[in-house]
Amino acid sequence: MTQVTMTVNGKAASGDVPGETLLSDFLREHLRLTGTHVGCDTSQCGACVVHVDGKAVKSCTVLAASLDGAEVTTVEGLANGELHPMQVAFNDNHGLQCGFCTPGMIMSGIDMVNRYKTEGRELTEEAIRHELEGNICRCTGYHNIVRSIKDAAASM
């Protein structure tokens, strides 16, 4: 067991976790934050993406025990009285069908917009498609997801 204290969506969250507990399990089972989805066993689908210290990571491929002192943001932590611009854009552009991949798409979308803004690079449609390589959607065919992220980038 490892004693960890992290900040999840702005609130302190601590607990004794077994070494093998994945961040995705810690979020879903210990904190009951089930917005973070688990869609595969192979670290490939991206449904589980959250932000750790401001960077997109696959929560199914990080040990909770390694995150003492970390700041974690999940999809539940985005809306602040009103929806985050990325959430609004997915709604407006019909960026989801079943919604299973959506939490990961939204967290990856915010991460790429933030990175490109910081680096002063233009987030073109081609760049969005390239950046989404680690997020798989079995419903939408991606077009509306790309549109949503492009739309949100303009208002973030």
Partner 1 sequence: MYAVNYHKPASIEDAVAAIGGAEEAKILAGGQTLLPTMKQHLAAPSDVVDVRGISGMTDIAVRGDTVTIGAAATHAAVAASSEVDTVCPALATLAAGIGDPAVRHMGTIGGSIANNDPAADYPAGLLGLGATIVTNQREIAADDFFTGMFTTALEDGEIITAVSVGKPDRAGYAKFRNPASRYAMVGVFVAQTGSGVRVAVTGAGEDGVFRHAGLEAALSSNWSSEAVDGVDVGSDGLMSDIHASADYRAHLIKVMAKRAAAAS
Q: Which chain residues interact with ligand FES by CB under 6 A?
A: 38-40, 43-48, 58, 60, 96-101, 137-140
Pairing of strands 2-8, 11-17: antiparallel
Give 130's Cβ-side CA count (13 Å radius): 7
User: What, of ligand FES, partner 1, ligand FAD, none, does residue 78 touch, CB below 5 to 8 Å by kind?
Assistant: none
Q: 51 vs 147, which CB is nearer to partner 1? A: 51
What's the rounded Cα separation, in Å, for the pair 17 and 143? Answer: 40
What's the rounded Cα separation, in Å, for the pair 78 and 120? Answer: 23
Task: Tell me the one-letter amino acid at 24.
Answer: S
By the rule CB under 8 A, 133 interacts with partner 1: yes
User: What, of ligand FAD, partner 1, ligand FES, none, does residue 82 touch, CB below 5 to 8 Å by kind?
Assistant: none
24-53 binders of ligand FAD (CB under 6 A): 43-44
